[in-house]
Structures are given as structure tokens and as C-alpha cells.
């Protein structure tokens, strides 16, 4: 009886995630291209061999790692700086906090379009307007720096989340420890390194893990800003799988790529979440 209320959620999860994944496994062992009728046949693990032998897949995987880790790390650093700022008392702090949170409330597609058309446009973009005194007017940022353009949009949208998470950690920090350190003559940098950072460690780990799990599946920003181009310079794994499935119509290989990505993501996420939970558990036992 205690578990009965969980049955609808369990059924929904199985229908939405597990059944499609089983179908993906089934398609991944077949050679099936939609533009060639009658080409569907079992090839077992040939698709997986082709995936790991695909140089474009390896390049796109590297793009995914750079995009995910780079965006998360920069967002965490900026979020930490903003959290330290908002942890101080000053006039208008509530207004500033609301304005800084706003980018996280914008839908990813709208945020990507905002960056592509309003900020990065070579003719009317605000970035070129601001940098025009330095000779940067007319720069086509999306074509020249495609991967960095996508990362800028992701960083802008995820910095507020990291800021809120780290601000909650800062506000949970015992004030008597900081006062004692100041009485003992510790400076601001020593307090930050010796007290603040160790206290924020589990919040930093949680932010990195949650951000990486979400950003590794980024599709909308890549699709709206660069379409993966030029070539595959800014394509990540979800977008590359989309290209192979819905533009190249190669169902077998795209399904195999999807299975590989899911398995690797589960392995990395499992170890990362265990690390975070162990950190929170250790902090709880100490308190």
C-alpha cells in the first residue's frame, strides 16, 4: 500500500524512457536507411564498430566535452563571484538578485535566438556595437567562433543557477567561524580559501554535476545558433545524432550512437552523483 502511489509515476517512466530505449537497442543492431526501401536487415554490432571508427563522431564527442565542461566551469566561476557579491548587504540587493536570475527563466530556444540575433549579429549586434571602438565592428561571431558562440549562450543562461546554488551555500555558512577568524587576524583571502571554499565544496560539486548532466544533452542552442556548422565545428553529440537520423536517414547508426552516448552518460553521472552524495553525507555526519 505504501508503494501504490508510486505506480503511476513508474508506469509513466517505463513508457516514456525504457520502451523507447529498448526500441533504440533494437534499431541499433540493424542496417536501415529510410531512403533505401527494403534495406532493413540485422547486422548485429557492425553499427557500433562503425560508430567508434567514425572520425567525425570522435570530433563531435570532443566538442561535446569542451562545450559541457567549459560552459559548466565558467558558469560556476561567474556564479561564485556573483554569489559572493549578493551575500553582502547593499541597497537594491533584491532588485539586483532578480535581474541576475532572469536569464535562467528564459526558455533555451528564446535565449539562443536572443544571442544569435540581438547580441552576435555582425551588422546590428550589441557586442559589435560595444566593441566597435576597439576595431571589432562587423565581426561575424557565429561563423568565426561557432563553438564559443554556443558556449556564451549556455554560460549566460546557467550562471544564475550556479549563483543561486552557491548563494544558498554561503548563507548556510556559520557566521561565528568567520568572526572568529577575523578576530584571529585572518584577512579576506585567507577566510575565503580556508573557510568559504571548503564549506562550498559540496555545493560546487552539486552544481557541476547537475550542470554537466543537463548541458551534455544540449540541442536547442546548437540548432538555433549555428546548426552545428561550419561543418561540424560546433556540433555536439545530440545534434550529430539528429543529423544522422533526420537528415541522413541512417536509423541504424544513429540509434547505435544514441545507445553509446546514453551508456557513457550513465556511467559518468553515476560516479559523479555518488561523489556528491558521499560529500553531502560526510557533511551531514560531521554536523
Q: How many CB atoms lie within 10 A of CB 85?
A: 15
Domain containing residue 140: CATH number: 1.10.3720.10
**8 Å CB contact between 161 and 211:** yes
Q: How many CB atoms lie within 10 A of CB 287?
A: 6
Within a domain: 180:
yes
C-alpha grid cell, residue 177: 567561524
Q: How many CB atoms lie within 10 A of CB 218?
A: 23
Q: What is the pLDDT of residue 257?
A: 92
Within a domain: 17:
no
Nearest 5°: phi and psi at 42?
-75, 130
Within a domain: 33:
no
For residues 164 and 79, what is the distance between their CA atoms, to the nearest angstrom? 8
Within a domain: 266:
no
- Give the count of domains, the chain: 1
Angle of helix 55-86 versus helix 197-215 axis, rounded to 10: 140
**8 Å CB contact between 87 and 174:** no
For residues 165 and 69, what is the distance between their CA atoms, to the nearest angstrom? 18
Q: Which domain holds residue 106?
A: 55-248
C-alpha grid cell, residue 122: 555582425
Within a domain: 121:
yes
For residues 48 and 61, what is the distance between their CA atoms, to the nearest angstrom? 15
Contacts of 232 (CB under 8 A, 6+ apart): 56, 59, 60, 63, 240
**8 Å CB contact between 139 and 132:** no
Within a domain: 163:
yes
Distances (CA, A) of 175 to 168, 181, 279: 14, 10, 22
Within a domain: 4:
no
Length of the chain: 287
Q: What is the pLDDT of residue 183?
A: 82
Q: What is the pLDDT of residue 193?
A: 85
Q: What is the DSSP letter of 125?
A: -
E strand or H helix that includes residue 285: helix 251-286
Q: What is the DSSP letter of 31?
A: E
Q: Is the peptide bond before 155 cis (omega within 30 degrees of 0)?
A: no
Residue for grid cell 552557491: 166
281, with CB counted inside 10 A (0-12, 13-18, 19+), is: exposed
Could you tell me the mean pLDDT of each successive run of 10 residues in the chain, 287 residues long? Answer: 87 90 91 82 88 89 92 95 89 88 90 91 88 80 91 94 92 81 82 86 88 89 89 88 88 91 85 75 58
**8 Å CB contact between 131 and 137:** yes
C-alpha grid cell, residue 227: 546548426
Q: What is the distance between the terminal CA atoms of the chain, rounded to a whole angstrom?
A: 35
Q: What is the pLDDT of residue 172?
A: 85
Q: What is the pLDDT of residue 286?
A: 57
Within a domain: 235:
yes
For residues 275 and 7, what is the distance between their CA atoms, to the nearest angstrom? 29
Amino acid at each position: 500500500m505504501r508503494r501504490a502511489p508510486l505506480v503511476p509515476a513508474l508506469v509513466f517512466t517505463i513508457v516514456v524512457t525504457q520502451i523507447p530505449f529498448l526500441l533504440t537497442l533494437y534499431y541499433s543492431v540493424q542496417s536501415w536507411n529510410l531512403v533505401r526501401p527494403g534495406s532493413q536487415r540485422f547486422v548485429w554490432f557492425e553499427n557500433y564498430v562503425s560508430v567508434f571508427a567514425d572520425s567525425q563522431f570522435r570530433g563531435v564527442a570532443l566538442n561535446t566535452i569542451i562545450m559541457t565542461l567549459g560552459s559548466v566551469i565558467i558558469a560556476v566561476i561567474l556564479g561564485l563571484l556573483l554569489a559572493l557579491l549578493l551575500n553582502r548587504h547593499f541597497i537594491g540587493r533584491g532588485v539586483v538578485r532578480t535581474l541576475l536570475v532572469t536569464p535562467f527563466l528564459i526558455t533555451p530556444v528564446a535565449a539562443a535566438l536572443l544571442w544569435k540575433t540581438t547580441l552576435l549579429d555582425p551588422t546590428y549586434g550589441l557586442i559589435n556595437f560595444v566593441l566597435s571602438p576597439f576595431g571589432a565592428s562587423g565581426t561575424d561571431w557565429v561563423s568565426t567562433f561557432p563553438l564559443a558562440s554556443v558556449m556564451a549562450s549556455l554560460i549566460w543562461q546557467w550562471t544564475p543557477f550556479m549563483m543561486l546554488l552557491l548563494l544558498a551555500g554561503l548563507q548556510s555558512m556559520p557566521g561565528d567561524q568567520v568572526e572568529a577568524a577575523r578576530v584571529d587576524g585572518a584577512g579576506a583571502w585567507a577566510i575565503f580559501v580556508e573557510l568559504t571554499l571548503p564549506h562550498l565544496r559540496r555545493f560546487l560539486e552539486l552544481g557541476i554535476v547537475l550542470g554537466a548532466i543537463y548541458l551534455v544533452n544540449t540541442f536547442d542552442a546548437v540548432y538555433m545558433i549555428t546548426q552545428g556548422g561550419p561543418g561540424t565545428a560546433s556540433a555536439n553529440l545530440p545534434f550529430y545524432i539528429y543529423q544522422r537520423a533526420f537528415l541522413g536517414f541512417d536509423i541504424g547508426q544513429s540509434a547505435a550512437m544514441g545507445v553509446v552516448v546514453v551508456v557513457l552518460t550513465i556511467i559518468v553521472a553515476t560516479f559523479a552523483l555518488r561523489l556528491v552524495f558521499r560529500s553531502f553525507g560526510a557533511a551531514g555526519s560531521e554536523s
